[in-house]
Structure 1
Amino acid sequence: MSRTHIEEPARSIPVLMEAEVVVVGGGTTGPIAAIAAARRGRKVVLIERFGSLGGILTLGLNTKPSGALLGGLPLELWNLARSVGAAGDDYMATTKTGGVRIASPVDPEMMKMLLTRLCVEAGVQILFETFVSAPVVEDGTVTGVVIESKGGRQFVGTKVLIDCSADADMAAKANAPFVMGSGEAEARMQPVSMYFIMKNVDLVRLADWARSCDDVPARAIPQDEEGLAYGLWLTGFNGMLRRFQEETGVRLQRDNITLKTADGQMYVNATRVLGVDVFSPAAFTAAILECYRQIDGVCRFLRERVPGFEQARLGQVSPILGVRETRHILGEYTLTGRDSRGETTFEDTIAADSSALDIHDPKGGDVDFQSMPPYEIPYRCLLPRDVEQLLVAGRCISADHEAHARSRNMPACMATGQAAGIAAAIAVEEGVPVRRVPVGRVQRVLREMGMPLRASEITSR
C-alpha cells in the first residue's frame, strides 16, 4: 500500500518553561544573540540541536571568519580565545584583488567551551540536544516554540523569537515569505562542502615551499615558525589539481583547495557538491557520502603532490555538512549586491562589515574570494514580513544572492546576531513590538560596545 499522508491526532503539549527571548540555533550567530539579550537582564533560552555550541565554526571545523572582527561581542570572544591560547593574531591575506584582513582561526574545541562559558555567565538557559519543531503563532504573532527532545514534545513560551537556524526554519514555518538562493525559478545556491583535518603535516616544509609556488596565489604565510600554529593560510593548487586528476583518473568537484592552521593542525576545505536540496533527507545524505568520496581523493592528492604532506594522514572529518545558502527571508529591506559593495548608507544600520566577497559558484568553477570595501547592514534586513515578534539573524537575513556572498560570512552573522539580541531585549524592556523598536537606542548600545556601524568608520581603522 502506497501512502502520501497519515493523520496525526491532536494532543496536549506540556509547557516546559517561559522566557522573554528564545534563540533558535546555537551555531555562530545564536550564542552571540543570546548573550547580548541576557546581559541586559532578560530571561533567555538558547535551543541547540547538537550537544555543543559554535555550529560550522566548531563542529564544522571551519575555525575562521572570512574577515575581521571589529568590536562588540565578536571581538570580545576572540580576545578571550587569544587569552587562553586558542587563537592567534589577525593576519592580512594576499588575494588577486588586494589584501583582506582576517581574524585568526580558533581552536574549535576550546571555542565550544568559551561560547558555553559566556552564555552561562550571562544567565542564558541552554537546551542542548533539542530540536525545535515549529514556532507557535497566534493572530500573526509568535508566542513560543514547540520542541522535541528525550523528554518528548514540549512548549517554550517567549515574548520575542530570534531565528538563528541559518536556514530561516522558524520564519518559514511561521509563514514569513522567503526566496531560495537567487530567487529564480531554477534557484542558484552556493554548493555544500565538508571540512576535514590532516594530521602529521610538516608545516615548516609546506610554508617554505608555498612561498615560491605560483599555484598558490592567495596566501598568508608567517615569517616565524611560531606563527604557523594559527597563521598559515593557503588557497589555490588549481593547476596541480588538474594535472593530478588527468594523471590518476581521480575525479574531484572543486577547482581549488584552501588550507589553514589552528593550534598547529591543518584544516582542509576542498570538497564541493552542487545542487543539493538540503531539505531532502535522501539528498542531504547523498551529499555527505559524496564529500567522503572526495575527501579520500584530496588526501591522496595532498600526500602525493604537496610538500609537507608526505607523512600526513586523515585526522578528523566534520560531523556536519557545511551549507552556504538556502532561504533568504523577505524582510522590510533586502540587502542588494550594490549595497554590499559599500555603495549605500543606512539610517538604521546595525553593523558595518569588512568580510571578503566569498562566492562558491553554484555551477562549479573557481571560488571568487576577493577584497571589497566595507558595507552596512540595516536593521530592516532582520525583520521578516507578515509575522510579529520574530527577528532573523545570520546567513538567512533579507539579502539577495550577490549580497549574501558577504553577509553569510561569520563576522556579519555574529554582528546581526548581536543586534538582534539587543533589539529583542529593548523590545521587552519598552513593551514594544520588535518592528517598532527605537533603532537609535539599539545603535547607542552597539556603539557603547565598541561596534562600528558605518562603513566609513572601518576605513579609518
Structure 2
Amino acid sequence: MTNNIIEPAKELPVRASVDVLVIGGGPSGIMAALAAAEDGANVMLIESRSFVGGNMTIGLPVLGFLGQKGNQIIKGLPQKYIDRLKAIEASSEHRPCPLHMSLTLVEPEAVKTVALQMLVEAGVNILFYAFCAGVVKEGDELKGVIIESKAGREVVLSKVIIDCSGDADVAFKAGVPCEFGNEQGGVQPPTLMFCLGGVDTEKLRLSIAEEPRTYLTDFIPAEYFGQNNQFVLVGMRNLINQAKEQGLLLPTERTILITGLRKGEIWVNMTRVNGVNGTDPASLTWGEIEGRRQIEDIQRYLVNYVPGFENAYFLKTAPFLGIRETRRIKGQYTMDRDDIMSCRHFEDAIAVASYPLDIHHPVGGGCTLEWCGDCYDIPYRSLVPQDVKNLLVAGRAISTTHEAMSAIRVMAPCMAMGEAAGRAAKMAVKQGIQPDAIDVKALQQELLEKGAHLRIPQESTI
C-alpha cells in the first residue's frame, strides 16, 4: 500500500472576493475584523468553530488590560468590547492582580453573543465551520485562501489577509518561515479548563486571608483575598503535595482557580497535558482525552483538601483544549526576552503590554514568572512576516522568541494587536500598497484617535 495519494487537480469555485480577510475569530481576529470594517471596507471573517471568542470562551479571565503600575494600557476597541459585556453584567471591572497584573472576568457564553453582535453590526461577512486548507499565491504575493468545509474546497480572494489563527496557519501554508516551541521544540502544555458549581467562594477566600500559612499562595499576599470577592488563586502547593502523597494523580504543582461571575462558580486551570502538538489533530485528540482523564483526580483533590469545595459539583468542560503555544512566524523584527525585561520602546509601536514572562514548562508541571516592572511596546514589524506580501499576523503567532511569546500571548495584548492589524490592513487597501509599506506614524495616529493607548512620542532604542 502506498503512503501517498495524488489528488487530481481541479478548479475551485471562488466564494468571495473581499478587501480584508481575517482567518480566526478569537480575541485578535474579532478586533482585526471590527477595525478593518470601520470605514466601510468589505471584510470577511472565517472561523472553524460555530462561534467567535476563542480562548475568551473557555473560562479564562482576560489578562493584561492593566500594567504593572496599575494604569490601563489596553484601550480602544478591546475596551469597547468589554463595555458591551459590562452593559449586560457579563464582565467585571479590570481588577489589579499581584500575580497577573490585572484580570477581567468575562462570562463565556456572553462573549460569543456580544462579539457576534458587534461583528454583524459592523457589516463583517462571517463564515463559520470553515478551515484554512491552503493559499493562493502569485510569486511572493498572497492572493487568497483556500477553505475547506462541508461545501467542499473553495477560494476566498482578498487584497490583504490577516492571520489570527493563533497557530500561523495561513502564514505557514503561504511559506512564511516559522519556529515552533523552544530550542528543543518543546511547547508550553495546554490546559482543558472545567467549571465547578456549589463552591463557597467566601469560605475559600477568607480561609486564605485568615490562615495564610496553611493556604499559602504564590506571590499573592493573603490580604488580597480579604479585599476581593472575585479573584484568581495560584498556589496551595502544600495541599497538592499532601494529595499526591495520598495517591491522587495531579499533573501540576499549583492550585489555580478563577472565580466565575455567577455565584458559586469556579473555573479550574489545573489540567496539564505535556507533549501536545496543537497543529496535529491526532495529538490534539489525545490531549482532549488526557485532559478529561485528569479532571477526575483534580476534582477529588479540590473537594477533599481545599476549603469551600466540600459541596462542589461538576458543571461543564471548556469547548476545546486551551493551547498556549504552537508556531511563531519569523517577521521583520523578532521580539525577545530583552525587549520585555528592558521595557523597550519602539518607533513603530502599535500596542503596549505589561504581562510578565510566564512560561509553563514544556516538561513537568512547573512554571517560571518574571516581571519587568513596567510596560513594553509591541512593534508593527513583528506583525509583518518575512517572504510573503499582502499578509499580516496578529495574536500569539507574531514574530517572537519562545520566551517573549510567553508574555505577549495573553488576550488583552492579542486584542490590541488585532485592532492594529485591522487598521493597517484597511490603510493598505485604501492606498493600494503592501501592508509593510504603510506609514506607521499614520497608523499610530489613527489608533490614538480611536482611543488606543501608545507610549508616544518616544525615543526608540532599536
TM-score interval, normalised by the smaller of the two chains: over 0.9
Specify the code of the residue in structure 2 equivalent to 1:436: A
What are the Cα deviations for residues 96-150 of structure 1, in whole angstroms up to 9, with x where unaligned?
xxxx531321011111111111111111111011112112111211111111222
- 1: CA distance between counterparts of 2:311 and 2:2? 54
Give the Å deviation of 1:456.
9.5
- Report if aligned partners of 2:133, 2:146 keep a CA contact under 8 Å in 1: yes
User: Equivalent residues in 2 for 1:411-426 (5 A)?
Assistant: 411-426=412-427
Alignment correspondent of 2:92: 88
Give the Å deviation of 1:263.
1.6
Give the TM-score normalised by the residue count of structure 2.
0.92
- Report if aligned partners of 2:60, 2:258 keep a CA contact under 8 Å in 1: no
Relative to structure 2, which stretch is displaced further, 431-440 or 366-375?
A: 366-375
Alignment correspondent of 2:70: none
- Report if aligned partners of 1:197, 1:268 keep a CA contact under 8 Å in 2: yes
Specify the code of the residue in structure 1 equivalent to 2:9: A
- 1: CA distance between counterparts of 2:329 and 2:273? 24
- Report if aligned partners of 2:163, 2:171 keep a CA contact under 8 Å in 1: yes
Relative to structure 2, which stretch is displaced further, 331-340 or 67-76?
A: 67-76
Alignment correspondent of 2:14: 15
Give the Å deviation of 1:347.
0.9
Give the TM-score normalised by the residue count of structure 1.
0.92
User: 2:406 is paired with a residue of what secondary structure?
Assistant: helix
User: Equivalent residues in 2 for 1:331-370 (5 A)?
Assistant: 331-370=331-370
What are the Cα deviations for residues 276-325 of structure 1, in whole angstroms up to 9, with x where unaligned?
22333222211211111211110000000111101101111112111111
1:180 equivalent to 2:184? Answer no
- 1: CA distance between counterparts of 2:297 and 2:441? 53
Give the Å deviation of 1:365.
4.0
- Report if aligned partners of 2:64, 2:412 keep a CA contact under 8 Å in 1: yes
- Report if aligned partners of 1:63, 1:107 keep a CA contact under 8 Å in 2: no
- Report if aligned partners of 2:248, 2:301 keep a CA contact under 8 Å in 1: no
- Report if aligned partners of 1:218, 1:234 keep a CA contact under 8 Å in 2: no
User: Equivalent residues in 2 for 1:193-342 (5 A)?
Assistant: 193-211=191-209, 212-214=211-213, 215-219=216-220, 221=224, 228=229, 231-247=230-246, 249-264=247-262, 265-342=265-342
Unaligned runs of 5+ in 2: 67-72
Give the Å deviation of 1:371.
4.0
- 1: CA distance between counterparts of 2:218 and 2:277? 33
- Report if aligned partners of 1:374, 1:455 keep a CA contact under 8 Å in 2: no
Relative to structure 2, which stretch is displaced further, 399-408 or 66-75?
A: 66-75
1:165 equivalent to 2:165? Answer yes
Specify the code of the residue in structure 1 equivalent to 2:434: P
- Report if aligned partners of 1:395, 1:413 keep a CA contact under 8 Å in 2: yes
- Report if aligned partners of 2:424, 2:435 keep a CA contact under 8 Å in 1: yes
Give the Å deviation of 1:439.
0.6
- 1: CA distance between counterparts of 2:272 and 2:292? 11
- 2: CA distance between counterparts of 1:453 and 1:315? 41
Alignment correspondent of 1:113: 113
What are the Cα deviations for residues 224-283 of structure 1, in whole angstroms up to 9, with x where unaligned?
7xx63xx22211121111110111x22222111211122222111001111222333222
Runs of 4 or more off by more than 6 Å in structure 1? none
- Report if aligned partners of 1:341, 1:374 keep a CA contact under 8 Å in 2: no
Alignment correspondent of 1:396: 397
User: 2:62 is paired with a residue of what secondary structure?
Assistant: coil
- 2: CA distance between counterparts of 1:456 and 1:193? 40
Specify the code of the residue in structure 1 equivalent to 2:293: R
User: 1:19 is paired with a residue of what secondary structure?
Assistant: strand
Alignment correspondent of 2:69: none
Unaligned runs of 5+ in 1: none
- 1: CA distance between counterparts of 2:111 and 2:319? 16
Specify the code of the residue in structure 1 equivalent to 2:145: V
Q: When the two structures are aligned, how many residues end up with a matched partner?
A: 444
- Report if aligned partners of 1:381, 1:398 keep a CA contact under 8 Å in 2: yes
Give the Å deviation of 1:79.
1.7
Give me the identity figure in percent.
38
- Report if aligned partners of 1:71, 1:449 keep a CA contact under 8 Å in 2: no
